[in-house]
Structure 1
Amino acid sequence: MVDLLKGSDQSYRVMVRSDENETKMTSLGIPTVRAELGDWRSVEAALEGVDTIFLLSAPSPVMSDLHKGLIDRAISADVRKIVRLSAEPAKYSEGLPMYEQHAEVDDYLVASGLDYVILRPHYFMQNIPQMHASFMKDSQMFAQYMGDTRIPMVDARDIAKAALAGLTSDAFNGKIHYITGPQSISFDDVAKAFSRPLGKDISYVNLPYEDQKAGLEAYGTPDMIVQTVMSLFKRWSDGEDQPTTSDYEKITGEKATDINTFAAEVAGSF
């Protein structure tokens, strides 16, 4: 997202919390402002003269309070518009703690009186190399609890393009947009897509639910995220295939990235 803003003609600042990040951004020619959600004095100072906000933060048990606090202060600062990165499961979030928070904040933003664009993307393609690159490279396989369920995985870079469109145009205001890839695909499809650029026959192994859960816990994943992710995976695994939408194409005027293109672009970094 920052790279897209940097390459645009927009005036922007990136909110940073640490000296390290401020130094890094500055060295890249990226303008910054020091503030942190929850440190409301710093946020109020950072919002002076701001017209539009892109609201995204890491998962947290207090995310809803932090985002609602930001929305309240945006209203007080006469900010005009917020583009918020939510998540697709917010539309059926009951029993999914992380996405219940997203739904709560989305509703709060809609009722705030501010102009808004809410983006709800599906499962990130980037999760594949992050979780499975070493297994594909060393063992020619990867394991995941999901069975043969098909979901419309989306390239996170496409999400950034949709967000930039929302920030720079008012044509998409007042709506919730569901951002997906161009096809609903299975993890077998993912294995085939990575087999080509890696020059190996990659296999997908369907993990049992308990093994996937134990793996996330062993990795040190916070309990709230484990509960949410595993409950969501089970719903997808037990339910119907997840559909695509045309929202990305409507917002950007481009075709969404497919899994074969994504695999060809990222496999070289394995």
Structure 2
Amino acid sequence: MYLVTGATGSLGRRIVKQLRSDDQLTRAFVRLSSKFGELSDRGADIFIGDLKQERDIEKACRDINYIISSHGSGNDPQALDYRANIDLIDQAIANNVEHFVFISVLGVDRGYEDSVTFKAKREVEKYLINSGLSYTILRPSGFANNLIPLAERFRDTGIYLSIGEQKNRSSIVSTDDLATIAIASCQIEAAKNQIFAVGGPDSLKREDIPRIFSRLFDREPIVINPPLQLFDGLRAGVGLINPQLNKSLGTLRTLLAHEFYCTPEEIFRLESTFAIEMESLESFLRRYVGQS
């Protein structure tokens, strides 16, 4: 039995679907307010709970062999990125879970102090490594599905908004590939007690994204590129009214200001270990929103 947290999120939903397509017993940890009907229809065991409640985590982990932690932070990284994962690890130990897969983030080890999410995930990584559990830590770059709304807007308007330096690189990963790797991590011996950078096969500059959109929809891009300083000014203004929102924008500021890409050696290691050919961003978008 697999336990998948964040089961109705963009990654978790894909993990549950793939597991159920292979007839694997799967418990999907969901909120009552989320849309989980499709997962239930696929035969997933629906566990309705709150990751902020240790009691719910304790119940969800009973009779579980594998845990895949794929939930996001919402608006509370302290409770969800950090505390919930620590509780999941503790319950994995208590229930003799065979393997724990943690979805971290690329660049988590660089010491970005402005991002609570990055700091939380790094501390969870350390705790998991020292827990004695069999584990795999996956550090993905940006999720390809996050670009679907931008692609759809471009299709309708031709406009692409991108803040900051356009030469910054990223290795945007197919969310379907990431789901496949997360599941395979539970079974592949070479993936155990390892950390993997996870990205697509291409190191893309931000300026490459509207060019991909242009090819998909056969229209010239209108690129709007405000400087990062404008974002900083707006963030400072928001901070005067809502200091908490100012802090939460630290993760977005970190993502906008830095590069998050995998080296060719990291992609080779990933593809070799998991016997997978990573899908390009253009291929992913063509499947989901491209013109036929």
- Shorter-chain TM-score range: 0.7 to 0.9
Task: Please name the residue that 2:176 is paired with.
Answer: 157
Q: Report 1:51-66 matches (<5 A).
A: 51-59=65-73, 60-62=76-78, 63-66=81-84
- Secondary structure of 2:136's aligned partner: strand
Stretch moving more, 36-45 or 69-78? 36-45
Counterpart-to-counterpart distance in 2, 1:254 and 1:194: 25
2:51 to 37, 41, 46: 37
Which residue identity does 1:171 align to in structure 2?
Answer: A
Deviations 1:41-87 (A, max 9, x none): 23222222211101122213322112111211221122222111111
1:76 to 90, 94, 98: 94
What is the alpha-carbon root mean square deviation over aligned residues? 2.7
Counterpart-to-counterpart distance in 2, 1:35 and 1:101: 22
Counterpart-to-counterpart distance in 2, 1:241 and 1:51: 32
Q: Report 1:56-135 matches (<5 A).
A: 56-59=70-73, 60-62=76-78, 63-95=81-113, 96-131=115-150, 133-134=152-153
Stretch moving more, 118-127 or 29-38? 29-38
Counterpart-to-counterpart distance in 2, 1:180 and 1:23: 30
> How many aligned residue pairs are there?
263
- Secondary structure of 1:171's aligned partner: helix
- Secondary structure of 1:126's aligned partner: helix
Which residue identity does 1:138 align to in structure 2?
Answer: D
Task: Please name the residue that 2:189 is paired with.
Answer: 170
- Secondary structure of 1:148's aligned partner: coil
Task: Give the percent of matched residue pairs that are identical in Structure 1 and Structure 2.
Answer: 22
Task: Please name the residue that 1:260 is paired with.
Answer: 282
Q: How big is the shift at 1:109?
A: 0.3
Counterpart-to-counterpart distance in 2, 1:21 and 1:265: 23
Query: Conserved in 1, the CA contact under 8 Å of 2:141 and 2:171?
Result: yes
Task: Please name the residue that 2:256 is paired with.
Answer: 233
Which residue identity does 2:65 align to in structure 1?
Answer: D
Is residue 179 from structure 1 mapped to residue 198 from structure 2 by the alignment? Answer: yes
Structure 2: tracts of 5 or more residues without a match: 1-14
Counterpart-to-counterpart distance in 2, 1:156 and 1:222: 28
Which residue identity does 1:243 align to in structure 2?
Answer: T
Which residue identity does 2:40 align to in structure 1?
Answer: T
Which residue identity does 1:228 align to in structure 2?
Answer: T
TM-score normalised over the length of structure 1: 0.86
Deviations 1:161-206 (A, max 9, x none): 1101112333310011110111111122222212122121224332
Counterpart-to-counterpart distance in 1, 2:229 and 2:192: 42
Q: Report 1:174-213 matches (<5 A).
A: 174-212=193-231
- Secondary structure of 2:40's aligned partner: helix
Query: Conserved in 1, the CA contact under 8 Å of 2:100 and 2:134?
Result: yes
- Secondary structure of 2:101's aligned partner: strand
Query: Conserved in 1, the CA contact under 8 Å of 2:85 and 2:124?
Result: yes
Query: Conserved in 2, the CA contact under 8 Å of 1:37 and 1:70?
Result: no
Residues 1:8 and 1:223: Cα distance change in structure 2 (over 3 Å): farther
- Secondary structure of 1:228's aligned partner: helix
Which residue identity does 1:37 align to in structure 2?
Answer: L
Q: How big is the shift at 1:93?
A: 3.1
Task: Please name the residue that 1:243 is paired with.
Answer: 263
Q: How big is the shift at 1:156?
A: 1.3
Counterpart-to-counterpart distance in 2, 1:129 and 1:45: 35
Counterpart-to-counterpart distance in 1, 2:95 and 2:157: 54
2:32 to 1, 8, 18: 18
Query: Conserved in 2, the CA contact under 8 Å of 1:151 and 1:185?
Result: yes
Q: How big is the shift at 1:22?
A: 5.2
